[in-house]
Amino acid sequence: MIPTRDDVLAARESLGDRLHRTPVLSSATLSRLTGARVFVKAELFQRTGSFKPRGILCKVDSLSAEEKERGVISISAGNAAQAVAWASAEVGADALVVMWQGVSEQKIEATRGYGATVDLEAANPTEAFERLHQLAEETGRAIVHPYDDPLVIAGQGTVGLEIVEDVPDAAVIVAPIGGGGLVSGVALATDARVVGVEPELSAAMHEALAAGKPVPVQPASIADGLSAPIAGETTLAVSQERDVESVLVTDEEIEEGMRFLYERAKLACEPAGAVSTAALLAGKVAFDPGESVVTVVSGGNVATQTAVAILGS
C-alpha cells in the first residue's frame, strides 16, 4: 500500500499529544550565506532525540493485542532502535532490536535504557537485516520496519505538516535520507519541493532512484544514522511519485554542517542530522533568491567522542 496525505493526517490524529511539536527556528546566518530565507526544523528535540518516534509509534499502535503480547522486533543503527524501545514501552510490549557490531555504544546503551533487548550478532547492516527475519521467524515477534512501512512513513510525514503550518510559504524542504521514511513522509504531507540528502558513502536512495529499484549498498559514512543498506520499496515509490530530488554530500561537508549547527545555531546534532544543512552550505540545493527553505535537523544522538572529534577539528 502506498500511503497518502490523508494517512499523514490520520497519523497526526493518532499520535495526539504523546510527542513533541518541535520548533522551527529562523537562521539569519544561513539566510545570508545562501540568499534564501532559511529555517531549521529542530527534530533533535523530539522524544528519544530524533524524528523516529513519530512513525514508529504509529506502527506499534496499530498492532493487535496478540501481537503486542508476543512482542516486537526491529533493526536500526540507533535512532529507530531507541524509538522502538520507547514506543513499545508506551504500549506495554516487549522489544528486541537487531543492531550490528561497530554501531554507536551510546545508541546501544540508550536503546537498552528505554527497555529493549539488543541483539549484536550481525557484523554489518546487510547481515543485520538477515538476522532480523531469522529472529522474527524464530520468536513470532511482529516486525516493525524502521522506514519501509506505510504507517511509519505516514507518521514521519507529520514533520512536514508542522513545517508548512509554521512556514506557510516554504518553497523547498531539505531533509536527510537513510532508507527514505522521513523524506517520503514529508513529500506526502506538503506541496513544497522536497530535496533529500544522503552521504556519498551511504547513498541507498540515490542509487535506487537512478536504477528505478532498490539497490543494495555498503554504508560507510560518518553519518551512521543514515546507514540503510537498501532503500525501501514503498519509500522509493513515494519518492518517485512525489518527485523527491536527490543530492549527495561528502563526510567532510557533513562535518562542516555539524560544526556550523553547533557553533551558529547552538544545536548539538549528530552527523546524520547535519546532512541537509551541509547540502545548503555546500551549494548543492538550487532555489530562487529569497525563497523560504526549511532544513530538517533530524536527530541529536551522537557519542561524546565522535562529537568532540568533529567539533575540535
Q: What is the pTM of this model?
A: 0.96
Which pLDDT score, from 0 to 100, does residue 304 have? 85
Report DSSP state, residue 299.
Answer: B
The C-alpha angle with vertex 273 and arms to 271 and 276, in degrees rounded to 5, equals 105
- The rounded percent of the chain whose pLDDT value lies above 90 is 93
The residues facing 195 across adjacent strands are 174, 245
Other Cβ atoms less than 10 A from the Cβ of 218: the count is 12
Grade residue 303 by pLDDT with cuts at 50, 70 and 90.
confident
Please check whether residues 80 and 195 belong to one and the same domain.
no
Residue 280: pLDDT band (50, 70, 90) is: very high
9 plus 47 within the same structural domain: yes
pLDDT digits (tens, 9 = 90+) for 180-231: 999 999 999 999 999 999 999 999 999 999 999 999 999 999 999 999 999 9
Domain shared by 73 and 181, yes or no = no
Q: Is 298 a catalytic residue?
A: yes
> Do 135 and 196 belong to one domain?
no
pLDDT band at 305 (very low <50, low <70, confident <90, very high): confident
Mean pLDDT of all residues in 277-287: 97
What pLDDT, in 10s, does the model give residues 53-100? 999 999 999 999 999 999 999 999 889 999 999 999 999 999 999 999
Are residues 166 and 73 part of one domain? Answer: no
Judgement on whether residues 126 and 230 belong to the same structural domain of the protein: no
Residue at which a domain ends, from 75, 109, 143: 143
CA distance readout (Å), 51 to 44, 155, 241, 248, 272: 7, 9, 23, 21, 12
d(CA 84, CA 30): 34
Q: Is the pLDDT of residue 313 over 80?
A: no
- Name the domain boundary from 81, 115, 143: 143
- Same domain (yes/no): 67, 28: no
CA distances from 5 to 11, 53, 154, 173, 175 (A): 10, 19, 8, 16, 18
223-272 pLDDT tens trace: 999 999 999 999 999 999 999 999 999 999 999 999 999 999 999 999 99
Task: Tell me the mean pLDDT in the region 131-139.
Answer: 96
Which own/partner pairs from 253-259 qualify as long-range (CB within 8 Å, at least 24 positions apart)? 253/278, 253/279, 253/281, 253/282, 254/199, 254/221, 254/222, 254/223, 254/278, 255/222, 255/310, 255/313, 256/281, 256/282, 257/281, 258/307, 258/310, 258/311, 259/310, 259/311
> What is the pLDDT, as a whole number, of residue 199?
98
Residue 60 structural domain:
53-143
Q: Which of 76, 239, 276, 298 is catalytic?
A: 298
| Cβ atoms within 10 Å, residue 67 | 17
- Among residues 143, 175, 200, the one where a domain terminates is 143
Of 52, 107, 239, 276, the catalytic one is 52
Mean pLDDT, the chain, as a whole number? 96
35 and 162 within one domain: yes
Q: Is the pLDDT at 291 greater than 80, yes or no?
A: yes
pLDDT of residue 163: 98
Cβ–Cβ < 8 Å for 259, 278: no
> For the domain that residue 304 is a member of, what is the CATH number?
3.40.50.1100
Instruction: Give how many domains the chain has, as a whole number.
Output: 2
pLDDT value at 103 more than 90: no
Q: What is the mean pLDDT of residues 137-141?
A: 96
C-alpha cell at 171: 518553497
Are 40 and 61 part of one and the same domain?
no
Question: How many angstroms separate the CA atoms of 168 and 206, rounded?
Answer: 28
| pLDDT tens string 22-65 | 999 999 999 999 999 999 999 999 999 999 999 999 999 999 99
Is residue 126 within 8 Å of residue 157, measured between CB atoms?
Answer: no
Looking at the structure, do residues 206 and 297 belong to the same domain, yes or no? Answer: yes
- Same domain, yes or no: 158 and 255: yes
Whether 110 and 253 share a structural domain: no
